[in-house]
């Protein structure tokens, strides 16, 4: 099950930190051994996050009280990987709530990782993951991270990568409790009742966030040779088995059940009604009707010819297969194209595309394209149109619009109104493969270059270090910028027609 919660405007850049979760395509291929203690499953397959390890049920040692040990050691003769260890997951899943791990970390070695994490229950659904990680040989520090797959299919993390926390104790010397509380909009990490951090979409690259069914895991493993050693150090087996002692792992109940945030249909024609809160709704198969009512809702029709009504609030709709009717209602709403195939879409009208159906979109102000070559046209309102990746054609039509082509060679047309053409990075319109603005009007429209460089940029008549200047004549004008100090063009925006441009048309 997948419920994307927020749009992602990022370029996909992230700090290095591998995802801990499994990647096989079905639960049957992950868990082939049952646990003697009810509520747990044991992994039995070659580990996907490292080439050095196989998960083995023999390396999970169960005790009469339900606790267990994870043992990392050299493999027996004839095993296809040099090391074996244990990984355990809960059978129970939930979208929101509080999960707890009580354990004693092993005497960690360079290149080793002890992970306590939540991972999407369905391995085939888009990524959602929340991590506690002991990394390398220091058990007085722990890393926190969140991984989310955005609507463009990119897996992104916390801005700046994982956060390292000084514990104030050595986790290898005794048992401690680690909890993650997940709501529809946040994740809070706590150790022994002490809150370490709370993260929301605002802390993620591009504000990516989603809510989906989660399962708790714990595992112990050595990193692969190469890039992972930059993160955890070179793997050095300490000479004797490493043992993590896990007293308990699972979902805990505190203050009753979490508020409902997810409504999910089936393969039939469903009628789903939201609450006054922020709902996440997935019709799945069938010709469904979803009504978000009040709140900032996320609505995904799934397969079938669906009717999606946002109601009040700032809602997010996901354009998918079928001939759908999407009505944002009141509030400033977003439509996200959930496809790698280019679509043709005009707000307020029907738009036909062989891959996505013949859809009608009403009362939705803003759009983010998918990974294909999209053609997106606004309406009389003030629209924000984001191309994402692909060679897109964006047209604002009427209203004071914001157009952001994103990556790819895009064609941008503001239309009527005072429009803003937004460039977040020089890679959005690089030299030799840049965007074209077809109807720029000096003194009315704006070019927003505020985010393309960490260095202050200056507009002038000639090429300079960290400068912005024009090239060509009024019939073939280019606006170029140097963002790295070498006085050579990094950003290159072409203007069609008789464009006129001055420094007052820039936002820096």
**pLDDT value at residue 43:** 92
pLDDT reported for residue 389 = 85
Q: Which of 212-221, 267-276, 296-305, 350-359 has the lowest mean pLDDT?
A: 350-359
Per-position DSSP letters for 165-216, written without gaps between them? EE-SS-GGGS-EEEEEEE-SSEEEEEETTEEEEEEEGGGBGGG-EEE--EEE
Which structural domain, as residue segments, surrounds residue 212?
27-254
Q: What is the mean pLDDT of residues 223-248?
A: 93
In a domain, 9, yes or no: no
Which of 81-95, 286-300, 434-448 has the least mean pLDDT?
286-300
Q: How far apart are CA 251 and CA 253, in angstroms?
A: 7
Last residue of a domain, one of 227, 254, 281: 254
Q: How many other C-beta atoms are found inside a 10 Å radius of the C-beta of residue 279? A: 28
- Give the pLDDT confidence score for residue 236 in this predicted structure: 93
pTM listed for this prediction:
0.52
pLDDT of residue 37: 61
pLDDT tens digits, 374-399: 899 999 999 999 998 889 999 999 99
The SS3 call for residue 457 is: coil
User: Per-residue pLDDT for 247 more than 90?
Assistant: yes
Q: For the ranges 133-147, 271-285, 372-386, which has the lowest average pLDDT?
A: 271-285
Residues 205-215 pLDDT 10s: 988 888 888 99
Residue with tokens 């999970």: 60
Q: Is 180 found in the same domain as 270?
A: no
Asked whether residue 228 is domain-assigned, the answer is yes
- pLDDT of residue 130 exceeding 70, the answer is yes
Question: What mean pLDDT, rounded, does the chain reach?
Answer: 85
Contact 373, 392 (CB under 8 A): yes
pLDDT tens digits, one per residue of 186-195: 899 999 999 9
Per-residue pLDDT tens for 52-80? 999 999 999 999 888 999 999 999 988 88
Average pLDDT over residues 404-427: 94
Look up the CATH number of the domain holding residue 132.
2.60.120.200
Q: How far apart are CA 415 and CA 475, in angstroms?
A: 19
pLDDT exceeds cutoff 60 at 134: yes
Query: Within a domain: residue 20?
Result: no
CA 415 from centre of chain? 32
In a domain, 303, yes or no: yes
What percent of the chain is modeled with pLDDT above 70?
88
In a shared domain, residues 245 and 302: no
Residue 474's pLDDT band (cuts 50, 70, 90): low
Residue 242 scores a pLDDT above 50: yes
Lowest mean pLDDT among 279-283, 348-352, 401-405, 482-486: 348-352
Q: In the prediction, which pLDDT does 14 show? A: 28
Which of the four pLDDT bands, split at 50, 70 and 90, describes residue 311?
confident
Return phi, psi of residue 467, to 5°: -110, 165
pLDDT(16) > 70: no
Residues 268 and 239 occupy one common structural domain = no
Is residue 420 a contact partner of residue 403, using CB atoms and an 8 Å limit?
Answer: yes
Residue 22 lies in a domain: no
**Distance separating alpha carbons of residues 162 and 489, to the nearest angstrom:** 34
Q: How many domains, the chain?
A: 2
Q: Would residue 1 count as lying in a domain?
A: no
Neighbour tally for 400: CB within 10 Å: 16
Residues 324 and 434 in one domain: yes
CB atoms within 10 A of CB 365: 21
Secondary structure (DSSP) of 126-160: PPEEEEEEEETT-TTEEEEEEEEE-TTS-EEEBTT
Helix (H, G, I), strand (E, B) or coil at 390: coil
- What is the percentage of the chain residues whose pLDDT exceeds 90? 56
Q: At 30, list the tokens.
A: 């992950």
Closest CA to 72 of 82, 80, 447, 265: 82
234 and 283 housed in the same domain: no
Same domain, 299 and 245: no
Query: Would you state the pLDDT for residue 255?
Result: 31
| pLDDT at position 25 over 60 | no
Domain identity same for 315 and 206: no
Does 5 map to a domain?
Answer: no
Is residue 400 over pLDDT 80?
yes
Using only the alpha carbons of the chain, give its radius of gyration: 26
Within this chain, do residues 173 and 219 fall inside the same structural domain, yes or no? yes
pLDDT (mean) for 421-440: 93
Domain boundary among 202, 222, 254: 254
Residue 174 domain-assigned (yes or no)? yes
Predicted pLDDT of residue 218:
97
Model confidence band, residue 31 (pLDDT cutoffs 50, 70, 90): very low
* Beta bridge partners of residue 7, listed in sequence order: none
Which of 88, 73, 69 shows the shortest CA–CA distance to 246?
69
Distance between CA 448 and CA 445 in Å, rounded? 10
* 494 and 406 in a common domain: yes
493, pLDDT greater than 60: yes
CA distance 493 to 202: 30
Residue 356: band (very low, low, confident or very high) from pLDDT cuts 50, 70, 90: low
Domain identity same for 347 and 409: yes
Q: Examine the fold and report which residue of 185, 220, 254 is the final residue of a domain before the chain moves on.
A: 254
Confidence bin at 360 (pLDDT 50/70/90) = confident
Residue 229: in which H helix or E strand, if any? Answer: helix 227-232
Assess whether 215 and 273 both reside in one domain: no
Which pLDDT band holds residue 345 (cuts at 50, 70, 90)? confident
What does residue 503 show for φ and ψ, rounded to 5 degrees? Answer: -60, -30
CB 306 within 8 A of CB 288: yes
Q: Are residues 206 and 291 in the same domain?
A: no
pLDDT at res. 448:
95
* Average of per-residue pLDDT across 167-184: 94
What confidence score (pLDDT) does residue 36 get?
60
- For residue 6, report the phi and psi dihedrals to the nearest 5 degrees: -150, 160
Environment class of 167 (CB within 10 Å of its CB; exposed 0-12, middle 13-18, buried 19+) = middle
At 76 the three-state DSSP class reads coil
| Domain CATH code at residue 422 | 2.150.10
């Amino acid at each position: 099950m997948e419920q994307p919660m927020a749009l992602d405007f990022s370029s996909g850049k992230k700090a290095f930190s591998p995802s801990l979760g499994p990647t096989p395509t079905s639960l049957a291929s992950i868990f082939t051994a049952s646990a003697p203690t009810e509520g747990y499953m044991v992994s039995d397959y070659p580990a996907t996050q490292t080439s050095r390890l196989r998960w083995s049920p023999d390396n999970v040692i169960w005790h009469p009280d339900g606790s267990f040990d994870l043992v990392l050691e050299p493999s027996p003769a004839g095993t296809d990987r040099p090391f074996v260890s244990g990984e355990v997951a809960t059978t129970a899943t939930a979208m929101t709530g509080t999960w707890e791990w009580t354990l004693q970390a092993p005497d960690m070695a360079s290149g080793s990782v002890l992970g306590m994490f939540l991972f999407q229950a369905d391995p085939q659904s888009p990524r959602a993951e929340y991590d506690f990680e002991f990394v390398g040989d220091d058990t007085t520090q722990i890393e926190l991270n969140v991984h989310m797959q955005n609507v463009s299919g990119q897996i992104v993390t916390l801005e700046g990568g994982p956060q390292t926390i000084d514990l104030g104790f050595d986790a290898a010397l005794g048992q401690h409790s680690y909890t993650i509380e997940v709501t529809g909009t946040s994740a809070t990490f706590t150790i022994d009742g002490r809150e370490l951090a709370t993260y929301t979409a605002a802390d993620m690259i591009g504000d990516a966030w989603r809510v989906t069914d989660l399962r708790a895991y714990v595992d112990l493993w050595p990193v692969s040779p190469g890039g992972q050693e930059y993160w955890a150090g070179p793997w050095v087996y300490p000479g004797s088995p490493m043992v993590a002692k896990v007293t308990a792992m699972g979902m805990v109940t505190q203050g009753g059940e979490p508020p409902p945030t997810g409504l999910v249909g089936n393969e039939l024609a469903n009628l789903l009604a939201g609450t006054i809160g922020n709902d996440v709704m997935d019709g799945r198969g069938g010709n469904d009707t979803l009504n978000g009512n009040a709140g900032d809702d996320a609505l995904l029709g799934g397969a079938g010819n669906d009717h999606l009504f946002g109601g009040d609030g700032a809602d997010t709709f996901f354009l998918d297969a079928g001939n759908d009717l999407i009505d944002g209602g009141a509030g400033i709403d977003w439509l996200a194209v959930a496809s790698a195939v280019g679509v043709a879409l005009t707000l307020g009208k029907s738009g036909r595309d062989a891959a996505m159906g013949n859809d009608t979109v009403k009362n939705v102000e803003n759009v983010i394209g998918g990974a294909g070559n999209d053609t997106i046209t606004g309406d009389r309102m003030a629209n924000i149109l984001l191309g994402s990746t692909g060679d897109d054609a964006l047209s604002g039509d009427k209203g004071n619009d914001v157009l952001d082509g994103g990556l790819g060679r895009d064609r941008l047309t503001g239309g009527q109104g005072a429009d803003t053409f937004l460039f977040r990075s020089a890679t959005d319109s690089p030299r030799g493969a840049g965007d074209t603005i077809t109807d720029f009007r000096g003194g009315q429209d704006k070019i927003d270059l505020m985010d393309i460089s960490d260095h202050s940029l200056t507009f002038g008549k000639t090429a300079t270090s960290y400068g912005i200047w024009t090239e060509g004549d009024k019939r073939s004008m280019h606006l170029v910028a140097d963002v790295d100090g070498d006085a050579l063009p990094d950003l290159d925006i072409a203007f069609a027609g008789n464009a006129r441009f001055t420094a007052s048309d820039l936002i820096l």
